Amino acid sequence: MKCYLFFLVLLLPIIITCQEEPDPRTRYFPRNRETVKELPAKDRFWIFILAGQSNMAGRGQVEPPDTIDNNRILSVNEKHQWIYAKEPLHYYEPNLTGLDCGMSFANNLLDHIPSDVTVGILPCAIGGSSVEQWLGDSLYRGVRLFSNFKEKADLAGKSGIIKGLLWHQGESNSKPELIPTYKEKLVHLLTAFRTYISNDSLPVVAGQLGAYTEPEERQKRWNSINSIIREIAAEDPFVGVIETKDLTEKGDKVHFDSKSQRTMGERFADEIAEMLN
């Protein structure tokens, strides 16, 4: 017995060392997500679709306050069941996804809308996706992009009223050969979104790309995308823009950090609220 205990003591540090360390990215991911038993009245359920690429899908660090639910904020899980929303909202890329701006957006929007209205936020963004892939309904990272949007829009239309779309995309289109046609194609895509929803005046708010990337040449191309987004908003009264030049990145020069994601959510909420009034 003493011999056995002696060897166990020797092996214990090895066993502990060999155990897999918890992934810090998922440390605060919620373990349980409660399904909604009864939806609000359709006219009191305002739904917003989150679309675009990785900075809308979210790559920030989820922290405990991001997982506090609110009975006036709903989302859906991968089975298309309505749930009380918690971060992370997106589930398409489980090895990458993190904090997005959705919960911050919804929590801040509650301050601008009637107290009997429930907010729905539908995840529909896929990291790395280009406008061309959205327009072509490409199968990308296991998701058929425009078909997935239509699926979410159908679900929203049955349950409530689609009141707007939040869009953050452009990094994948910031290539010299793609920038010249970005405006035309993005306008085409926004028109396709609205046509499917049957609302030509659906509010769309686009987030600008960050001002922190490197090298300088890539930042210039990101700035070109931002200029195009501003042009579209200037020409379309139902397109708004949020600024991001003061926001910070998570260390990879591509993705917004958690603080910036929450700030973007606040700005999206302010802009949508102004457009809805």
Q: Cα separation of 157 and 42, whole Å?
A: 9
If you ran DSSP here, which 8-state letter would residue 99 be given?
Answer: B
pLDDT score for 21 = 63
Residues 268, 18: Cα–Cα separation, whole Å: 45
Q: Which residues does residue 151 pair with via DSSP β-bridges, in sequence order?
A: none
What is the C-alpha to C-alpha distance for residues 182 and 172, in angstroms, rounded to an integer? 11
- Number of neighbours of residue 67 by Cβ within 10 angstroms: 18
Would you state the pLDDT for residue 20?
Answer: 57
R_g over Cα of the chain: 21
In a domain, residue 74? The reply is: yes
CA dihedral over 175, 181, 183, 189, signed as positive or negative: negative
pLDDT value of position 22: 74
Percentage of residues of the chain with pLDDT beyond 70? 92
Cα gap 51→226, rounded to integer Å: 17
Q: The CATH number of the domain where 238 resides is what?
A: 3.40.50.1110
Residue 138: inside a domain: yes
State the pLDDT at residue 277: 87
CA distance from start to end of the chain: 77
Dump pLDDT digits (tens) for 55-107.
999 999 999 999 999 999 999 999 999 999 999 999 999 999 999 999 999 99
Which parts of the chain sit beneath pLDDT 50?
A: 3-18
Domain membership of residue 14 (yes or no) is: no
In a domain, 115, yes or no: yes
| Rounded Cα distance, 49 and 154, in Å | 11
Give the pLDDT confidence score for residue 17 in this predicted structure: 42
Residue 131 lies in a domain: yes
pTM: 0.91
Q: How many Cβ atoms are within 10 Å of 43's Cβ, its own excluded?
A: 9
pLDDT at res. 73:
98
Does the N-terminal peptide bond of residue 88 adopt cis geometry, omega within 30 degrees of 0? Answer: yes
115: containing domain: 39-276
Number of domains in the chain: 1
